[in-house]
Amino acid sequence: MVRLPIVLSLTLSAGLLLGATFFSGGKKLTDLAKGYAKYREILMLIENNYVDSVNTEELVDYSIEKMLEKLDPHTSYFNADEALAARSQLDSGFDGIGVEFNLYNDTVFVVSPLSGGPSEKVGIQSGDRILTVNGESLSGPGATNAKVYKLLRGKRGSEVNMKIQRVGVEENLNFTVLRDRIPTYSVDAAYMVDEEIGYIKVSRFSETTYTEFKSALSSLKATGLKKLVLDLRGNPGGYMERATSIADELIAGNKLLVYTDGKDSRFDRQTRARIPGMFEEGPVIVLVDEGSASASEIVAGALQDHDRALVVGRRTFGKGLVQMPIKLSDGSELRLTISRYYTPSGRSIQKPYELGKGENYNEDLTKRFNSGEYFSADSIKFDPNLRYKTEGGRTVYGGGGIMPDVFVPRDTSYNSKYLFELYSKNIIREYALKYANANSKQLEKQPFKQYLDTFTVTDAMLDDLIKDATKAGIKPSDKDLSRSRPIILAQTKAMIGRYIWGRERKDGLSNELFQVLNPLDNVYREALNQFSKASALEKGDFSSLNVIPK
């Protein structure tokens, strides 16, 4: 459930890091010793003389957290329980509601709902602010990581009632989420769009991502893959090594994939392509958006800089800082920023920040929405001093995320209050499950491909769904219903397909869901129309590729 904005690229032990830092000698050591002595003195005075009883451990944790707020927005501290929970997201499953979150300035921001998890099912979105959980406030001085874990994690099948504030929606939204076992798979979909085009969706870079990706790519190649769409939208990152390994499967030779630069050479590292990849030839399109961060940006940046892939979508998050996880003696963990990473062309994609002003940093996505950036590429201003060249001489920019080669605005044409309410109360999912259970024997007689091509959600089915919504207190609106009807029908069909055919899967893929919904996705549709440019790009023909803003 915890946000993992780190790129786990180094495996130095805590002893090596602390030894190199604390015993470097000279004035720095003297200043550090004075500071440590002062802190210890104050802590002892409080413990021995303060008028009331105090929890010294809590004071220490609080002081560490406040100290780190003076640094960059991604250096962070987790107590022992929080550290265990944080690690579980990338290497094991857990029971909870399935969101990656960021807690800053007493506010809980949803970074991304985990794909396939219960929060995604009810419509929780990136950028949502969690105000209350089961009536308890998660906004204000009492909001801590420990409290978030306590309120959001729990026994599988138990309910979590949340009040959400969403950018662009005037009224707060109420959601009821059933806790479940959070999927540990990170490749969500891998299927053939047609006889030549394959689609792979990667939701995060966890311990098993590279293995899952290779399996998916191998399967698609066996069925005729000639062109690839790699979807990294909403992918918040994870292990750097898994990201560079995936890039290596698509980039030939020993080309540079990414490099890091720290305070000194201890944390400097170059990562190059080193293996014969499975798909080094053939056009590639990478899908990104404002939720694509960290390791996702490493993959997109490497492919873009080597002119290996056409990047389609919206500007990525802009995280170019590397954190090293350092396990402390009591089981707590410090995630210390030790370097910046750079794409092969030399650009840093870290968006601007000021030390100690993380609140401004965390408001960046809201500012993008308010400035109109999600809807118009003209709203994005580039620093001419941060201009770089790709391997083939195309212009790209650093200083704040990966700008796509082909911009596609956010599609809000289906959005309505009625749709949000259907999501928040699980109406579509519950109706689909009810329908699937009642009609499973008949539906299972056909292959999914036949279902995909021929099944239609009828007016009678929609009427039944609307009745379920009315019983749940959601009043239908003709205007809202007309606006959201296509996505309601598609979501219903997708969920039914997922329940009937997806539950038999052992590979963690949700192909049925994506095959129904992707045709309504404007970024996906645009990508399929851009393969002529992707093919020209691969061949080194840039004459038709006037796609990077100059």
> What is the CATH classification number for the domain harbouring 248?
3.90.226.10
The answer to whether 424 touches 176, Cβ cutoff 8 Å, is: yes
In sequence order, the β-bridge partners of residue 542 are: none
**CA–CA separation, 145 vs 356, rounded Å?**
19
Q: Are residues 173 and 217 in the same domain?
A: no
Question: Which residues does residue 472 pair with via DSSP β-bridges, in sequence order?
Answer: none
Pick the catalytic residue from 245, 294, 296, 339: 294
- How far apart, in whole angstroms, are the C-alpha atoms of residue 337 and residue 335? 7
Would you say residue 206 lies in a domain? yes
Is the same domain home to 234 and 278? yes
CA dihedral 491, 129, 202, 91 (to 10 degrees): -120
Residue 511 backbone dihedrals phi, psi, to 5 degrees: -55, -40
For residue 474, the one-letter residue type is: I
CA nearest 549: which of 340, 376, 405? 405
Residue 31 resides in a domain: no
Predicted pLDDT at 496: 94
Quick check: is 442 in a domain? yes
Instruction: Check residue 28 and give its pLDDT.
Output: 65
Residue 91 pLDDT = 62
Largest CA distance in the chain: 79
Instruction: Please identify, among 135, 159, 181, the residue that sits at the C-terminal boundary of a domain.
Output: 181
| 199 and 127 fall within a common domain | no
Question: Both 213 and 174 in a single domain?
Answer: no
Q: Looking at the domain assignment, is residue 80 inside a domain?
A: no
Is there a domain that residue 271 lies in?
yes
**In the prediction, which pLDDT does 100 show?**
74
Residue 292 designated active-site: no
Q: Is 389 a catalytic residue?
A: no
Write the CA distances from 378 to 205, 208, 384, integer angstroms.
31, 39, 15
| Listed residue (368, 339, 394) closest to 72, CA to CA | 339
Here the contacts of 539-548 (C-beta below 8 Å, separation 24 or greater) are 540/307, 540/392, 542/307, 542/392, 542/393, 542/394, 545/394, 545/405, 547/310, 547/405, 547/406, 548/394, 548/395, 548/396, 548/403, 548/405
Q: What pLDDT score does 9 carry?
A: 31
Same domain, yes or no, for 156 and 197?
no
User: What's residue 93's pLDDT?
Assistant: 61
Q: What is the pLDDT, as a whole number, of residue 115?
A: 64
- Count other Cβ atoms within 10 Å, centred on residue 534: 26
> Which residue among the candidates 319, 417, 425, 533 is catalytic per the annotation?
319
Query: Rounded CA gap, 435 and 427, in Å?
Result: 12
531 shares a domain with 512:
no
Decide if 72 is catalytic.
no
Active-site residue, from 72, 305, 468, 480? 305
First to last CA, the chain: 40
> At which of 154, 181, 208 does a domain end?
181
Does one domain contain both 177 and 261? no
Measured in residues, the chain has a length of 550
260-272 b/e with 16+ CB inside 10 Å = b? bebeeeebebebe
How many domains would you assign to the chain?
Answer: 3
Query: Helix, strand, or coil here: 318?
Result: coil
Please tell me the predicted confidence (pLDDT) of residue 454: 97
**168, 169, 172, 177 alpha-carbon torsion, rounded to 10°:** -90
**Domain containing 157: what range?**
99-181
Question: Do 314 and 401 form a contact (C-beta atoms < 8 A)?
Answer: no
Token code pair at residue 124: 């929780």
Q: Global pTM? A: 0.80
62 inside domain: no
Residue 192, pLDDT score = 98
Q: What is the mean pLDDT of each run of 10 residues along the chain (550 residues)?
A: 37 30 52 87 92 90 91 89 73 75 75 76 84 90 81 90 88 94 85 98 93 97 98 93 97 97 90 97 97 96 98 96 90 92 96 80 86 89 91 93 96 96 87 89 96 98 96 93 97 93 81 97 98 95 62
- CATH number for the domain including 150? 2.30.42.10
Last residue of a domain, one of 181, 210, 228: 181
Distance CA 393, CA 401 (A): 19
The reply to whether 456 and 528 lie within a common domain is no
Co-location of 304 and 426 in the same domain: no
Residues 227 and 367 in one domain: yes
Residue 7 lies in a domain: no
Other C-beta atoms lying within 10 Å of the C-beta of residue 25: 7
Q: Which of 388, 390, 370 is nearest to 379 (CA)?
A: 370
In a domain, 164, yes or no: yes
Question: How high is the pLDDT of residue 183?
Answer: 61
382/428 same-domain check: no
Contact partners, residue 493, CB within 8 Å, separation at least 6: 455, 456, 457, 516
Work out whether strand 227-231 and strand 197-202 pair parallel, antiparallel, or are unpaired: parallel
Six token digits for residue 526: 């645009």
Q: Are residues 246 and 378 in the same domain?
A: yes
User: What is the reported pLDDT for 27?
Assistant: 56
